[in-house]
């Protein structure tokens, strides 16, 4: 960590905040505070360069025009890329996967270069994927099913340097017929799960926090309401 306060970067909420994914940063901050850590959210807008010194980063979903703005900004200010290179955890939701990928196609068929943090490409699919998704995670440190709400038309193909976050048990996932949901590459975790994802998947939230803190374990939080939410969502 950079100092005694854990700093969570909320990246471009002004353009990548369509689906309430900024809630993921709130979850990280709250779970840290409940364990006695000082924590703050650093909002990084189109008016700000992206600092490379933060402890964790989250990005949310957006439409085509907003994706272009985000891609341009992250290319001009590559702090996120530099942070990931040193191992800072990055959570990318939905359209953020596409922005961080090699390229994505817009709904009109135009191909736009991404920032190439993820070895993925994304093209529009014939049918939009909307609904609950439940998956079995591949990632070490995750043992429980992942649950979220997907709402996307993108079909994301994983390249050789990327791997899926999880295998789909219910829902669509990446949308290219390989049964995968999300992507993992280096310290970057990408998923199409809204919800926000970390509110619905506390184990994933704590994995990100452990990486941010550089620790192997965190004290358990007893939150019955979160477990109730998970039970309800996993009954789909």
Instruction: Residue 49: count other Cβ atoms within 10 Å of its Cβ.
Output: 11
One of 73, 138, 152, 194 is an active-site residue; which one?
Answer: 194
- Concerning whether 170 is annotated as a catalytic residue, the answer is no
Q: List, for residues 140-160, the tens digit of each pLDDT value.
A: 999 999 999 999 999 999 999
Domain containing 199 — which CATH number? 3.40.50.880
Q: What is the mean pLDDT of residues 27-36?
A: 97
Q: Is the pLDDT of residue 236 over 70?
A: no
**Residue 4 and residue 38 in contact, taking contact as beta carbons nearer than 8 Å:** yes
Question: Is 127 inside any structural domain?
Answer: yes
φ and ψ at 219, to 5 degrees? -60, 140
128 annotated among ligand-binding-site residues? yes
φ and ψ at 211, to 5 degrees? -70, -40
Question: Is 69 inside any structural domain?
Answer: yes
Q: What is the mean pLDDT of residues 32-53?
A: 97
One of 94, 138, 152, 170 is an active-site residue; which one?
Answer: 94
- Concerning whether 194 is annotated as a catalytic residue, the answer is yes
pLDDT confidence of 109, banded at 50, 70, 90? confident
pLDDT confidence of 214, banded at 50, 70, 90? very high
CA dist., res. 158 & res. 23, Å (int): 27
Q: What is the mean pLDDT of residues 167-189?
A: 97
Question: Is 205 inside any structural domain?
Answer: yes
- pLDDT: which is higher, 230 or 84: 84
Question: Is 136 inside any structural domain?
Answer: yes
Domain extent for 169: 6-234
Give how far Cα 166 sits from Cα of 52, 130, 173, 227, Å.
28, 18, 9, 20
Question: Is 26 inside any structural domain?
Answer: yes
Q: Name the pTM for this structure.
A: 0.95
Percent of residues, the chain, with pLDDT higher than 90: 87
Total number of domains in the chain: 1
Amino acid 1: pLDDT: 45
Question: Is 1 inside any structural domain?
Answer: no
Q: What is the mean pLDDT of residues 121-133?
A: 95
Secondary structure, 3-state, 162-216: CECCEEEEECCCCCCCCCEECEEECCEEEECCECCHHHHCHHHHHHHHHHHHCCC
Q: Please give the structure tokens belonging to residue 73.
A: 């900004």
Question: Is 42 inside any structural domain?
Answer: yes
Q: Please give the structure tokens belonging to residue 195.
A: 């919800």
């Amino acid at each position: 960590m950079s100092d005694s306060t854990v700093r969570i970067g909320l990246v471009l909420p002004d353009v990548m905040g369509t689906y309430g994914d900024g809630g993921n940063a709130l979850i990280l901050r709250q779970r840290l505070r409940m364990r006695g850590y000082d924590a703050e959210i650093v909002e990084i807008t189109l008016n700000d360069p992206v600092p490379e010194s933060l402890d964790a980063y989250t990005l949310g979903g957006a439409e085509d025009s907003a994706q272009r703005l985000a891609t341009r900004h992250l290319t001009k200010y590559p702090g996120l890329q530099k942070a990931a290179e040193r191992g800072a955890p990055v959570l990318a939701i939905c359209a953020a996967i596409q922005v961080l990928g090699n390229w994505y196609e817009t709904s009109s068929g135009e191909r736009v270069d991404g920032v190439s943090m993820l070895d993925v490409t994304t093209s529009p699919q014939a049918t939009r994927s909307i609904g609950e998704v439940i998956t079995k995670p591949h990632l070490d440190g995750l043992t429980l099913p992942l649950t979220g709400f997907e709402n996307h038309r993108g079909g994301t193909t994983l390249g050789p340097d990327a791997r899926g976050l999880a295998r789909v048990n219910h829902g669509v996932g990446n949308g290219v017929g390989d049964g995968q949901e999300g992507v993992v590459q280096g310290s970057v975790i990408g998923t199409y799960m809204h919800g926000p994802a970390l509110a619905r998947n506390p184990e994933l939230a704590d994995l990100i926090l452990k990486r941010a803190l550089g620790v192997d374990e965190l004290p358990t939080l007893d939150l019955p309401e979160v477990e109730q939410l998970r039970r309800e969502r996993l009954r789909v």
